[in-house]
Chain A
C-alpha cells in the first residue's frame, strides 16, 4: 500500500464552512482567467494529508488564482494553495484554506461547495509578458508569485486537478469534517505555459505548516469558462483510502 497521510484535519476544521445540504446547482463562470503555479512540495509529505489520501509521487503544491470578471455576485478573485495527492487512484488537490476578495462570492463558494476560504485582498494581474498575483491578509503578504516567459499552448494541453475542499457537514444531526470533491468543467479559450516564480509563500497562512515550494514544475495561464458542478463525491478524511470515498445521491432526471 502506498504511503498515506497522517494529519488529523478535525484540528483545523473549526474555521471550515458548515454545510447543511450537499444539494447544489452548477454555477457557470464565463471568461475567467486562471493562473496555476505548480511546484514539487517540500516538507513532510505525509504530515499535510489525512489518512484517506496518498501523497502523489512526488507530492506537489498547486497555487491557483482565478479572476472571474462577472457573475451573479459580481467580479471576484479567488486564491487557493492545494496539496497534490491521490484519493485512491484519482489525482486530487487537498484544499484546507484559501482567500477571496469578495464577501458575496466567499459566501457562495463556502455555502455551496465548501471552499474553506476567507475574505482577503487577492490581487491578480494577467498579462502577455507575465501574470502576477499576490494575497494580503491583515496587511501581511502571504503569497506573491508570477508566471514568467509565457508561450502559447492549447487548452487541450492543460489538465487541472479536482479539489477536495475541507468542510464541516451536518447530516442526521451529526457534524463532521469531510472533504468535498469539486471537479469543475473547463472550456478553454486560450492557454499559455511558462515558468512559475513564487516570491512569498507563508505556509501557516494556508494551513499548511512546514510546506514549501521546493522545485518548480510549470505555470499556466488560461482564459476559460468554468462550471462549478453539483457535488457528487465526498471523502471521509480519517478512513483508509480504499474505503474513504462516498458517492452522493444524485437528483433523478425529471
Chain B
C-alpha cells in the first residue's frame, strides 16, 4: 500500500488579500512534510470557478512548485480536463512533459472531463461531447509523447505534422490514469489500460465491486499508451489524533464541510439534460457514504480517528484491492495548519509502518525514469 496527499485547495470566505496566499502556502508546507515523512505522491485537482470548494485552477504550476520543494514525492494531475475548451491537447502534452522533466520523472498523468456545468458552461463546452473528447485525448497524448513526429485528424481537434516537444523524462511516458466517479468509468479505464483514480470518498463496498470489475476487464485491454497501468488509487479524508473521539469529530467536520461546499456548485446533470452524465456527478456520490455511516458510525474506509481506527480503515481499502490511498488533509481550513501537520506525523509514525511490508501495488510495466533506476 502506498500513501499520498490530495489537494483540492478550498478557500473559505471572506477572501482577504492574504487568504488564497495562506492556503496555498499551507498546502505547499503539507507537501514538503509529506515528502519528509515518506508519503509517495501528491495529487492536485483541476477545477475552475468553484468558489470556496476548490481554487486549484492551474495545477501544473502548483505541482511544479511541489516538485521543486520535494525530493521523492511523485506529482499527479488529478485530473487534466480533457475538453478542448479547457485544455488544448497539445499544450496538455507539452506541459506534462515539462513537469516530468523538471521533477526528474515524477509525474502521474490523470485524465477526466469535469462534472459540473459551473466549469463546462463557463468555458462554453458542450457536455454531450466530453466523453468523446476525453477518449480522443487519452489516445493521442501518449503518441505525442512517444512519436518523434505527430499529426492527427480527429473530432476534438486536428493538426498537421509537427514534432511535439519536449518529450517526458519517464520512458516510454508517465503513468496514465482516469478519474473514476461515474458508474462504469472504471471499465472505461480498464479497457484502455489506464489506472483507476477513484475520486469518490468513502464507500469501500461499492468501490470493491468496481475494483473487481476493473481488474477483470483490464486483463483483456487494448492499451492506449505504451504500457498498461494496472493500479487502483482511492481518496479519503485524513485526520489522525491520539484521542479517537477528537479525531473522528474533526474528520467528520472536514467531510461534512467538503460535501456542503461541493453541493453548492451546479452539477452538469442539474442544468443540462444529457445521457453523457448518467449520475448527478461527483458531488452526489461524495455525499452518500462519506460523512456518516449507519446509526452515526464512522463509515468503513474513512481514515479518521486514532491510529488504530485509521489503520483499520486502511486495511479495509487494502482488502478491497486498492493499491494507493490519497488523503485530503484539510477542507476550507477547518483544521488549524499545526493540527494538520500533527495528524500527518502521527499517521506516518503509527500507521504507515504497518503497511510498509505489504507493498501489493503492482508497478506499471515499463514506466521508468530515463536516467533513473
Contacts and interface: CB of A to CB of B under 8 A. Distances in A.
Interface of A: 1-3, 38, 40, 54, 56-58, 60, 84, 86, 88-91, 153-154, 156-159, 161, 191, 193, 215, 217-218, 220
B47 to A, nearest CB: 11
A220 B261 CA distance: 28
Nearest to A215: B121
Given A89-B287, A220-B273, A2 B121 contact: no
Interface string B233-264: 00000000000000000000000000111011
Given A58-B118, A153-B275, A158-B273, A2 B261 contact: yes
B117 A217 contact: yes
B120 to A, nearest CB: 10
A193 B121 contact: no
A154 B49 contact: no
Nearest to B127: A218
B14 to A, nearest CB: 10
B8 interface: no
Contacts of A86: 263-264
Given A38-B272, A89-B287, A153-B273, 20 more contacts: A1-B13, A2-B13, A40-B121, A54-B264, A57-B49, A57-B50, A57-B53, A58-B49, A60-B271, A86-B263, A88-B260, A153-B274, A156-B278, A157-B269, A158-B273, A159-B273, A159-B280, A193-B274, A218-B272, A218-B273
Interface centre among A2, A3, A90, A161 (most CB of B within 10 A): A2
B266 A56 contact: yes
Contacts of A1: 12-13
Given A1-B13, A57-B49, A157 B265 contact: no
B270 interface: yes
A86 B12 CA distance: 18
Contacts of B275: 153-154, 156-157
Interface in B64-119: 117-118
Contacts of B46: none
Nearest to B261: A2
A52 to B, nearest CB: 14
A218 B275 CA distance: 14
Contacts of B265: 56-57
Interface residues of B, number: 27
Nearest to B332: A1
Contact of B270 (A3, A91, A220): A91
B229 to A, nearest CB: 32
Contact of A57 (B118, B259, B260, B269): B118
7 contacts: A1-B13, A58-B121, A86-B263, A90-B263, A217-B271, A218-B271, A218-B273
Q: DSSP majority for the A interface?
A: strand
A2 B51 contact: yes
Contacts of A54: 264
B52 interface: yes
Interface centre among B49, B259, B275, B287 (most CB of A within 10 A): B275
Interface in B147-177: none
B45 to A, nearest CB: 16
A215 B265 CA distance: 17
A3 B260 CA distance: 12
A129 B226 CA distance: 48
Contact of B274 (A38, A40, A157, A161): A157
Nearest to B260: A89
Nearest to A56: B266
B270 A159 contact: yes
Given A56-B265, A56-B266, A89-B287, A2 B52 contact: yes
A56 B278 CA distance: 21
B16 to A, nearest CB: 15
A144 B361 CA distance: 60
Contacts of A60: 266, 271
Interface centre among A153, A159, A161 (most CB of B within 10 A): A159
Nearest to B12: A1
Contact of A161 (B118, B270, B278): B270
Contact of B266 (A58, A156, A157, A191): A58
Nearest to B256: A89
A159 B269 contact: yes
10 closest Cβ contacts across the A-B interface?
A89-B263, A157-B273, A218-B272, A158-B273, A2-B264, A217-B271, A57-B265, A193-B273, A89-B260, A57-B264
A35 B308 CA distance: 55
A217 B265 CA distance: 15
Contacts of A157: 269, 273-275
A88 B118 CA distance: 18
Contacts of B117: 217
Contacts of B13: 1-3
A26 B53 CA distance: 38
Nearest to A91: B270
Contact of B264 (A56, A153, A161, A193): A56
B51 to A, nearest CB: 5
Nearest to B121: A217
Interface centre among B118, B271, B280 (most CB of A within 10 A): B271
A218 B270 CA distance: 10
Interface string B41-59: 0000000011111000000
B245 to A, nearest CB: 22
Contacts of B271: 38, 60, 217-218
Nearest to A84: B266
B190 to A, nearest CB: 25
Interface centre among A40, A54, A88 (most CB of B within 10 A): A40
Contacts of A84: 266
